[in-house]
Amino acid sequence: MNNNKRILIEEGFTYSILSWILIIVSEYCKQKKIKEIIIEKKQKDILKNNFVKKKLENFKIIYTDDLLPFYLKKNIFLYLILIPKSLILSFFWKKFNYRNSNWFDYQFFHSIIDTQQSLGKDGNIEANYLTVLKSIYLNLKKKKIAEYLSQKNISAVMSSHNVYSVKTFNSVFRKKKIPVFCHAVWNLYKLPFLKDENWNNFYNSKLKKKIFTNLKMNKVNNYWKKKFLGKGDYYDSNLSYKKKKFNDKVENIVMLHIFRDSPFIHLDRKRIFLNYIEWIDETIKILKKSKNDWYFKIHPNSKKWGENPIILLKKLIKKNDAKNIIILKEGNIKLMKNLKKVVTFAGSVTEESVSMGIKPITISETAIYNYDKDLVFKPKTFNDYEKLLLSNNLKIFRLKRNAEKIAKKIIYSSEKLMSLRKDLNAIFFFRTEKYKKHRDYLRVNKNLKKNISFLRKNGYLLSHKLTHTLSKEGLKLINEA
């Protein structure tokens, strides 16, 4: 048996992301004395990049296809093995008590929920049976492959994300206490064992304290001014700003997410709603009792992602006969100047709201909630949520000025220190913008050579003491550049 330690690169990375991830991986492996790198065969063309190939020349490259047995490589055998189990599970699916399940079962259950929502169509309130069956099968497949690979002397896993069936894949290794590093928003971070984390949740208290102590408020305020004008580093808020329409009549707002794009990188088991659709449906039921108008703002990237959320939203408004719900297709951060109540599932608008002195209502944990739970309302029960939505006491939704400073620091940290995008010269693109994929790779590759020491530094720090990669500015801030 081969006793060499190995690192596994999960299959979901684009070539652009994979090119810089592999530089970090090479240094991480060097420090951890890992000699073999396992990647998917479909990713082998990354080795045509001579710069990347040279950085990996001291490692043995193995393809997963060369490790997996025949019955895990051919769909026909996988169907024979997994379809009967998928069928049985599909019949008992809705009876599964996910709230009282153990950590591993809950990860698997939620991966199926995520997958079926992603595979659905605009306007679907519930997934049809075939979508549920396909979701169960895809997750069982990922689980089976992960269970086999986890026995092959894997010392660490680099994963492209932590949603859909990849969450199932990651959970197999996490259950065995094999370190899993997850990518999100050009950040690579270590997932805790048997606990979820989002890329900017700041569970690493030492890192959080160091950043917040060293970060100067004048720099934060200068960035905030740029962000408020649509010139920040976060694409969603910049795009939203370009949608110039400003409605000063909006006082109560629900900020929508992309319905079929999973928010569940981090699973908050204490949240009161299972997913976006259940949340919006129940929220509309409550708000139709309100004497005030409520605006539901469409996410600025819905169309680019490949979704038309208005179809579902109109269906839920009609279903609940809510006359006071108004769909807001456009509107930017200026809206918050006049807002009285802000509601979100767990979006970045949480921090933006606090930075404007408004205490938002959230369903799931966010970065600022984990920093100070008193800065947001996170209802523990449905009744608590209903009372907050219908409350006439607007004073409880106003925050003290010091809270704004904390929110602005978190925004600055997330957009300037945690994300490596600007250093990498990467570009934003979505499902419907595949034409940008090659351009993104060319831009990142052009800067790869000059980023070598920066990326190696991150690989070194991940192998020793840091849980997250940091931008060049971030490394300087914590005196690690």
Residuewise pLDDT in 10s, the chain (481 residues): 567 899 999 999 999 999 999 999 999 999 999 999 999 988 999 999 999 999 999 999 999 999 999 999 988 999 999 999 999 999 888 777 777 889 999 999 999 999 998 998 888 888 899 999 999 999 999 999 999 999 999 999 999 999 999 999 999 999 999 999 999 999 999 998 888 888 877 677 788 888 889 999 999 999 888 877 767 666 555 555 555 555 667 889 999 988 888 878 888 889 999 888 999 999 999 999 999 999 999 888 788 788 888 999 999 999 999 999 999 887 666 677 788 999 999 988 899 899 989 999 999 999 899 889 999 999 999 999 999 999 999 999 999 878 899 999 999 999 999 999 999 999 988 777 888 899 999 999 999 999 999 999 999 999 998 899 999 999 999 888 5
End-to-end CA distance of the chain: 40
CA distances from 45 to 11, 15, 40, 48 (A): 13, 9, 10, 5
| 458, 31 Cβ separation under 8 angstroms | no
One-letter identity of residue 457: K
In this prediction, residue 338 carries a pLDDT of 81
| 370, 376 Cβ separation under 8 angstroms | no
In this prediction, residue 58 carries a pLDDT of 94
| 23, 46 Cβ separation under 8 angstroms | no
Angle, CA of 158, 35 and 71, to the nearest 5°? 60
Residue by residue, DSSP assigns 445-473 as HHHHTTTHHHHHHHHHHHHHT-SB---HH
| 155, 32 Cβ separation under 8 angstroms | yes
What residues contact residue 430 under an 8 Å CB cut-off, 6+ apart? 301, 304, 305, 306
Whole-number Å distance between alpha carbons of 18 and 158: 10
Whole-number Å distance between alpha carbons of 296 and 298: 7
In this prediction, residue 241 carries a pLDDT of 53
In this prediction, residue 237 carries a pLDDT of 57
What residues contact residue 368 under an 8 Å CB cut-off, 6+ apart? 350, 351, 354, 375, 376, 406, 407, 410
In this prediction, residue 122 carries a pLDDT of 86
Whole-number Å distance between alpha carbons of 48 and 29: 21
* Phi, psi of 292, rounded to the nearest 5 degrees: -105, 160
* Ordered domains of the chain (ranges, CATH): 215-418 (3.40.50.2000)
Alpha-carbon dihedral sign for residues 12, 442, 189, 269: negative
Would you give the DSSP letter of residue 377? B
| 158, 183 Cβ separation under 8 angstroms | yes
One-letter identity of residue 106: Y
